[in-house]
Structure 1
Amino acid sequence: MNRITSPRFIPLVLSLGIVLGILIGNFYANHYAGNRLSIINTSSNKLNDLLHIIDDQYVDPVNMSDLVEKAMPQILKELDPHSTYVSAKDVEASMQDLKGSFSGIGIQFFIYQDSVRVVRVINGGPSESVGIKAGDRIIGINKKAYIGKNVSIDSTYKLLKGPKDSKIELEIYRPAIQKKLTFSITRNDVPINSVTAAYMADETTGYIKVNSFAETTYSEFLAALANLHRQGFKGLIIDLRGNLGGYLDPAIRMAMEFLPKDRLIVYTQGRRSPRQDYKSDGRGAYQNLPLVVLVDEASASASEIFSGAIQDNDRGTIIGRRTFGKGLVQEPIQFADGSMLRLTIARYYTPSGRCVQKPYSQGDEEQYENDLFLRAEHGEYFYKDSIKTSGKAYKTRLGRKVFGGGGIIPDIFIPRDTIGMTPYFKQAYTLNLLQEFAYVYSDKNRKELMQHQNLNELVNYLDKQNILEQFAWFGSSNGLKRRNLMLKKSQKLFTRFIYGNIIDNIMDEQSAIQYDNLSDPAMLEAIKILHQGSAFPKLTRTEGKFILGFQQTDKHIALICSRIFKLPYYATESTNPKNYKRNIQKNA
Structure 2
Amino acid sequence: MLSKIANFINKYYPAAVAGLILFLVGIWVGQNATLGFLKTGSARTPVSLSNRASPSGVTVDFGEFWNVWDKVTKEHLDKKGVDQQKLLYGAIGGLVNSLGDPYTVFLDPENNKSFNSELSGVYEGVGIEIGSKDGRLLVIAPISGSPAGKAGVLASDVIAKIDGKDTSSMTIPDAVKAIRGQAGTNIKLTLLRDGKAIELDLKRAKITVKSVDFVDKGAGVALIKISRFGDTTKDEWSDAINKFVSEGFSKLILDLRNDPGGRLDTAVYVLGEFVKTGTVMVQEEDANGLRQEFKSDREGRLQAVTPVILVNKGSASASEIVAGGLRDLLGSKLVGEKSFGKGTVQKVEDLTKGAGLHITVAKWLTPKGTWVNANGGLSVDFEVKLTEADIASGKDPQLAKALSLVK
Distance 1:301 1:191, change over 3 A: same
SS at structure 1 position matched to 2:352:
coil
1:233 correspondence with 2:253: no
CA RMSD of aligned residues (A): 3.5
Residue 225 of structure 1: how far off its partner (Å) = 1.6
Give 1:239 shift. Answer: 0.5
| Shift in Å, 1:319 | 1.1
2:181 matched residue in structure 1: 154
Local SS of the residue matching 1:337? helix
Within 5 Å, which residues of 2 pair with 1:403-442? 405-417=375-387, 421=389
Q: Give a deviation string over 1:420-471, Cα, whole Å, max 9, x none.
A: x4xxxxxxxxxxxxxxxxxxxxxxxxxxxxxxxxxxxxxxxxxxxxxxxxxx
Indicate if the aligned counterparts of 2:386 and 2:396 stay in contact, CA closer than 8 A.
no
Q: Secondary structure at the match of 2:182?
A: helix
The question of 1:258 aligning with 2:285 is answered no
Change (3 A) 1:298 1:110: closer
Match of 2:92 in 1: 72
Whole-Å separation in 1 of the counterparts to 2:218 and 2:64: 66
Q: Report if the CA contact (8 A) 1:273-1:345 is conserved.
A: no
Among 306, 330, 354, which residue is 1:314 paired with? 330
The Cα offsets for residues 175-209 of structure 1, whole Å up to 9 and x where unpaired, read as: xxxxxxxxxxxxxxx974211x2021122110111
For 1:317 and 1:68, the matched residues in 2 are separated by 49
User: What's the offset of the Cα at 1:226?
Assistant: 1.4
Stretches of structure 2 that go unaligned for 5 or more consecutive residues are 1-33, 41-57, 125-144, 148-178, 186-206
The within-5 A match list for 1:98-117 is 98-100=119-121
2-side partners of 1:334 and 1:65: how far apart? 17
Contact 1:291 1:315 in 2 (8 A): no
Would the alpha carbon gap of residues 157 and 89 (structure 1) be closer, same or farther in structure 2, given more than 3 Å must change?
farther
Identify which of structures 1 and 2 has the higher relative contact order when contacts are C-alpha pairs closer than 8 Å and 6+ apart.
2
CA distance in 1, matches of 2:146, 2:300: 41
Displacement after TM superposition at 1:260 (Å): 2.9
1:382-421, CA deviations, whole angstroms, 9 ceiling, x for partnerless residues? xxxxxxxxx4xxxxxxxxxxxxx32111121112335xx4
Q: CA shift at 1:57, angstroms?
A: 4.1
Counting only pairs closer than 5 Å after superposition, residues 363-442 of structure 1 correspond to structure 2 as 391=374, 405-417=375-387, 421=389
Q: Against the structure 1 CA distance between its residues 156 and 222, is the aligned structure 2 distance closer, same or farther, given a 3 Å change threshold?
A: same
Distance 2:331 2:353 in 1: 46
Are residue 202 (structure 1) and residue 229 (structure 2) matched? no
Q: Radius of gyration: which is bigger?
A: 1
How far 1:294 sits from its partner (Å)?
Answer: 0.6
In structure 1, the residue matched to 2:83 is 63
1:32-87 C-alpha deviation (Å, 9 max, x unpaired): xxxxxxxxxxx8234x5444222334433443332333343343333212111211
- Residues 1:526 and 1:248: Cα distance change in structure 2 (over 3 Å): same
Question: Are 2:406 and 1:520 equivalent residues in the alignment?
Answer: no
Q: Secondary structure at the match of 1:408?
A: coil
Equivalent residues, number? 280
Q: Write the mapping of 1:141-180 to structure 2, written as runs, cut at 5 A.
A: 154-156=181-183
Hey, what's the Cα distance between the residues in 2 that align with 1:220 and 1:297? 24
Aligned counterparts of 2:65 and 2:84: Cα–Cα separation in 1 = 8
Report the secondary structure of 2:274's partner residue. coil
Structure 1 residues 338 and 204, CA gap change in structure 2 (3 angstroms): same
Judged with a 3 Å threshold, the aligned counterparts in structure 2 of structure 1 residues 315 and 257 are, in CA distance, closer, same or farther, namely farther
For the residue of structure 2 that corresponds to 1:351, the secondary structure is: coil
User: Counterpart amino acid of 1:56?
Assistant: D
Q: State the shift of 1:228 in Å.
A: 2.6
Q: Which residue of 2 aligns with 1:337?
A: 353
Task: Give, as a single letter, the amino acid of the residue that structure 1 aligns with 2:85.
Answer: S
Residue 82 in structure 1 maps to residue 96 in structure 2: no
SS of 1:257 mapped into structure 2: helix
Contact 2:386 2:398 in 1 (8 A): no
Would the aligned equivalents of 1:273 and 1:346 in 2 still touch at CA under 8 Å? Answer: no
Letter in 2 for 1:520: D
2:371 to 355, 361, 364: 355
| Partner SS, residue 229 of structure 1 | helix
CA distance in 1, matches of 2:180, 2:117: 16
2:119/2:231 contact within 8 Å kept: yes
Letter in 2 for 1:522: Q
Letter in 1 for 2:328: D
- Secondary structure at the counterpart of residue 154 of structure 1: coil
Q: AA paired with 1:414?
A: V
- 1:530 offset after TM fit, Å? 1.0
The residue number in structure 2 matching 1:144 is none
Secondary structure of the residue aligned to 1:201 is strand
Cross-structure match for 1:173: none
1:326 and 2:342 matched: yes
Aligned CA distance change for structure 1 residues 522 and 344 (closer, same or farther; 3 Å): same
Deviations 1:250-292 (A, max 9, x none): 1101111112343221111212795321122450011111311
Give 1:230 shift.
Answer: 3.0
Could you tell me how far apart the structure 2 residues matched to 1:494 and 1:302 are?
29
Aligned CA distance change for structure 1 residues 153 and 269 (closer, same or farther; 3 Å): closer
TM-score by length of 1: 0.43
Deviation string for 1:113-132 (max 9, x for gaps)?
xxxxxxxxxxxxxxxxxxxx
Cα deviation for residue 306 of structure 1 reads 0.6
**Counterparts of 1:321 and 1:74, CA distance in 2:** 36
Match of 1:529 in 2: 405
Aligned counterpart, 1:386? none
Deviations 1:217-245 (A, max 9, x none): 12211111211333321100111100000
User: How far apart, in 1, do the equivalents of 2:312 and 2:319 lie?
Assistant: 10
Measured at CA, do residues 493 and 347 of structure 1 come closer, stay the same or move farther in structure 2, by a change above 3 Å?
closer
Distance 1:252 1:76 in 2: 29
The verdict on how the C-alpha distance between 1:250 and 1:153 changes in structure 2, with shifts beyond 3 A counting, is: closer
Give 1:45's aligned residue.
Answer: 60
Q: CA deviation at 1:92?
A: 1.6
Name whichever structure is richer in helix by fraction.
1
**Partner Cα distance (2:279, 2:180) in 1:** 45
